[in-house]
Amino acid sequence: MNVSGGVVRARGLVKDHGQGQSRVRAVDEVDLEVPQGQMLAVMGPSGCGKSTLLHLLGGLERPTDGEVWVAGRRIDTLSERALARLRRRSVGFVFQAFHLVAELSAAENVELPVLLAGRSRREARRRAGLLLDRVGLADRARHLPSQLSGGQRQRIAIARALANDPLVVLADEPTGNLDTAATLDVLRIFEDLRSAGQTLVIVTHDERVAATADRLISMRDGLFVDDTRLAGSHTGGLGGLIGLEG
């Protein structure tokens, strides 16, 4: 699906936490447009607002002011029910802590968002099989999260994020708990997704991860302080990680 004007857009985006004297501005009048097929990395010190920005773009938080558009639709004015439907259909989330359901197998974790979207169990199983194969874990389909390594759990979480073929994947520190080898596995998947035209926004502290992106935004105190095009550098960044693995 081609989306003119960017898969994700923000205009004058503001997010305040607290009130009165305790009010903190986490995101300060940010403008952003992420075209289809772009891998965008967002970096900055802890507390700079980058995770809040990601939550606003995915509709997990409501802005104090400004607009957010996903797939050509303004989402900050939607009802909670409509927003939940849009998230299930158009946005995939990947988090540092994985957030897998402990009682469900790897396959069942991937099937869950397909079922929640109202599709059949047969279709959910088909999608889970395809996606687990895509992330190289078809042989772990019946394993519980507790039986998997951190890197394997993150790959399951990525498969789950892709379950409903979203237009954009939002990842918050997706390699923060992983060693270099597992980080490589995740970045190879992201690179494959980017090459296939998937749109990704990745919040990270890791400069090696940011080096694989097409574009890097640096944040400080809720503001964008730098916006750099890295087109063509993602291969070098991944190659650097491969070197570190050895």
- Domain borders along the chain are 8-100+166-245
- Res. 4 pLDDT band, cuts 50 70 90: low
List strands edge to edge, sheet with 39-43.
91-95, 168-172, 199-203, 39-43, 215-220, 223-229
pLDDT of residue 123: 96
For the segment 59-118, what is each residue's pLDDT rounded down to a tens digit? Answer: 999 999 999 999 899 999 999 999 999 998 899 999 988 999 999 999 999 999 999 999
Mean residue pLDDT across the chain:
90
**Region 137-162 average pLDDT:** 96
pTM over 0.85: yes
Residue 163 confidence (pLDDT) above 60: yes
pLDDT of residue 75: 96
pLDDT given for residue 235 in this prediction: 45
pLDDT given for residue 21 in this prediction: 79
Neighbouring C-beta atoms of residue 55, cutoff 10 Å:
20
User: pLDDT > 90: what percent of the chain?
Assistant: 78
DSSP 197: T
- Give the fold, CATH level 3, of 8-100+166-245: Rossmann fold (3.40.50)
In the Cβ-directed half-sphere of 7, how many Cα atoms lie within 13 Å?
24
Summarised one tens digit per residue, pLDDT across range 173-189 is 999 889 899 999 999 99
Measured CA to CA, the distance from residue 243 to residue 113 in angstroms comes to: 36
Amino acid in the structure at residue 86 = L
Q: In this structure, are residues 177 and 150 in contact, taking their beta carbons and an 8 Å threshold?
A: yes
- Cα atoms in the Cβ-side hemisphere of radius 13 Å centred on 10: 24
